[in-house]
Amino acid sequence: MIRPGRDAAATRRALVRAARRRFATDGYRATTVRHIAADVGVNVALINRYFESKEGLFEACMLRTSDELDSRTPEHITDVEDMVERLITHVVNAPDGDDPLQLLLLLRSSGDENADRIRRTTLEGFAQKIAANAGWSPDNPATEPILLRAQLAIATMLGVVMLRTAAAAQPIASAGRDTLGGPLGQVLRMLLADDD
């Protein structure tokens, strides 16, 4: 809940965080700006003031997700091992934590054309970033299979997140990094390692 006198930037961050959680768990259509405002403890008018609309708030959520995923998968990584470890972190944190919710947000179709376009663009950018770290170049058609493998890596990560969060399937839902990281790392390494 936002305390009186809190600054606008903190309120915006709290709204984005609450909206991201709602959009990831309830979906775009089922989420209302009233729910989000209530989660933060602010007047619903602030959403329109800061983001103009529900769609604007969704776009802010996707941009923040993209920025946070990018900050944990920096362009200068050239070692697949380091990249795999960073990707595992997105998946094996607490199932109700921010990392898995970010990945769920990339997965949830909204039924709204503009929101889905924003989601697709973010997902494509994340795949391209992973692929580039594994050797893909948009200017080199011979590296196109690397982009496909990066998309398969994301699909694997999303599947694990879905089983851990939405389905709460055991034992995967309660598996920690030590248990889950090894097998997941093997799959991601197989997908992203250089074939040469």
* pLDDT score recorded for residue 6: 67
Count of residues in the chain = 196
Res 69: pLDDT: 66
> Which SS3 state, helix, strand or coil, does residue 40 take?
helix
Q: Give me the pLDDT at residue 180, please.
A: 92
Distance between CA atoms of residues 20 and 118, nearest Å: 14
Tens-digit pLDDT string for the chain (196 aa): 555 556 889 999 999 999 988 888 888 888 999 999 999 999 999 999 999 999 899 888 888 877 766 655 545 555 788 888 888 887 887 656 666 666 777 776 667 787 788 888 888 988 998 898 889 999 999 999 999 999 999 999 989 988 888 778 899 988 888 999 999 999 999 999 876 5
If one counts every other C-beta atom within 10 angstroms of the C-beta of residue 72, the result is 15
The pLDDT score that the predictor gives to residue 183 is: 95
Q: From CA 191, how far away is CA 51, in angstroms rounded?
A: 38
- What integer pLDDT is reported at residue 181 of this predicted model? 92
| Cβ pair 164, 173 in contact under 8 A | yes
Predicted confidence at residue 98, as pLDDT, reads 65
pTM of the model: 0.76
Residue 94: the pLDDT is 60
